[in-house]
Structure 1
Amino acid sequence: MIAIVDYGMGNLYSVEAGLRRAGASSKMVQTAADIDSADKVVFPGDGHFLACMNALNKRGLRDAVLRAAAKKPFFGICVGMQVLYESSEEAPDTPGLAVLPGHIRHLPEVAGKIPHMGWNTVQHTRAHPMLNGVPENSRFYFIHSYYAEPNACTIGIAEYSTAMTAIAEHCNVWATQFHPEKSGRWGAQLLKNFVAA
């Protein structure tokens, strides 16, 4: 069973629909016990870094999310990816979960409108099972104003004002800045790869 963490901060129904199209059985969960008993965990997020961290702490789910990220197939989406990093310029006094190394920065405005919203291509930096069946320069749907700087965990890069991490992995943790559940064929393929992992 795949648990979709419901802490009030994500596109839960679209994620659930995306997983269903990928052939997975999933359910939205609101308790640490349900996260602990799941086989895999999807961690969505929308909105503000601080609001996501506050909601996670208020609902008593932070430690369960960290336990899942330490040992289970785990997929962070959008702000659900960003809070996996150590910190964010969006909320400099609020630590992230530090599952992934690095920091979240504000997108430079030199290249146009912020937020970055719409379709963008992603270049692979190295092979990974997450990318099986996903061609180089596939397009995915983004909506965000902050980004993770590319580092050793980055396996996909997009360009908008600057090079940014579009896809990251670390051991059992997969994460995307874009919304795979809204990204058509190739987003569906990423979800299928996660279901099969």
Structure 2
Amino acid sequence: MSGRCVLVDAGMGNLHSAEKAFRRMAPEGSEIVVTGDPDAVRRADRLVLPGDGAFRWCMGRLGASGLREAVEEVARERPFLGICVGMQMMARRGFEHGETPGLGWIAGEVRRIDAGGRPVPHMGWNDLSVLRPHPVLEGIGSGAHAYFVHGWQMEMLDEGQLLATADYGGPVTAVVAEGNRLGTQFHPEKSQEAGLRLIANFLRWDP
């Protein structure tokens, strides 16, 4: 049972499509809440942090909104999902517009994609390569389609935290996890079958 799933609204993008997808996949009796209130975030049974924009700006928004402390408190023990820049913020640091410390949960650094001559940002549908099993990836195998929009990616320092990649002029980090925290570079709310399956799995995940 999902309980109370909170989507964090720190002003880092339009959450309408994410809210709609999570409501669609939520188990009966569960609650989906979109909020920028730190006290409401602390009452979450599971937490989702979406993000759109530059790494430095998003980290600044999380701090300036008063939400960072609440997010870190919940994510110590309860299921956490970071989406797009929300995943990147889980890294140790990012280099977009200068070096900026991240949340430090994943041993990685966010750097500009080296796409081998392909257009950047990496935008559109791409196939996942699943490297290791995880409950949130149940039913999602290599070849599943996911929707990406990003010009920067998390370069992993600990391959054991890397669950899936996509190919865009070389491997691009697509899914990371450590303990009760998981992140996706792609947008599950825009990734149709695979994305909805991932959301449903997350809402039932009991790490």
TM-score by length of 1: 0.96
Counterparts of 1:130-145 in structure 2 under 5 Å?
A: 130-145=136-151
Alignment coverage as a number of residue pairs: 197
Which whole-Å deviations, capped at 9, do the CAs of 1:18-61 have from their partners, x for residues lacking one? 10111252111112211111111000000111110111111111
The amino acid of 1:192's aligned partner reads: A
Where structure 1 has 5 or more consecutive residues not aligned to the other structure, the ranges are: none
> Does residue 167 of structure 1 match 2:175?
yes
> Does residue 36 of structure 1 match 2:42?
yes
Contact kept in structure 2, 1:15 and 1:181, CA below 8 Å = yes
Task: Give the aligned CA root-mean-square deviation in angstroms.
Answer: 1.2
Which whole-Å deviations, capped at 9, do the CAs of 1:78-124 have from their partners, x for residues lacking one? 00000110111214332111011111111114231000000000111
1:191 to 164, 189, 199: 199
Identity %: 39
In structure 1, how many angstroms separate the alpha carbons of the residues matched to 2:166 and 2:149? 13
Pick which of 119-128 and 107-116 moved more.
107-116
In structure 1, how many angstroms separate the alpha carbons of the residues matched to 2:90 and 2:84? 10
Contact kept in structure 2, 1:18 and 1:181, CA below 8 Å = yes
In structure 2, how many angstroms separate the alpha carbons of the residues matched to 1:39 and 1:121? 31
TM-score by length of 2: 0.91
Deviation at 1:67, TM superposition (A): 1.2
Where structure 2 has 5 or more consecutive residues not aligned to the other structure, the ranges are: none
> Does residue 180 of structure 1 match 2:179?
no
Runs of 4 or more consecutive aligned structure 1 residues displaced over 6 Å after TM superposition:
none
1:90 to 96, 104, 109: 96
Give secondary structure in 2 for the equivalent of 1:102: strand
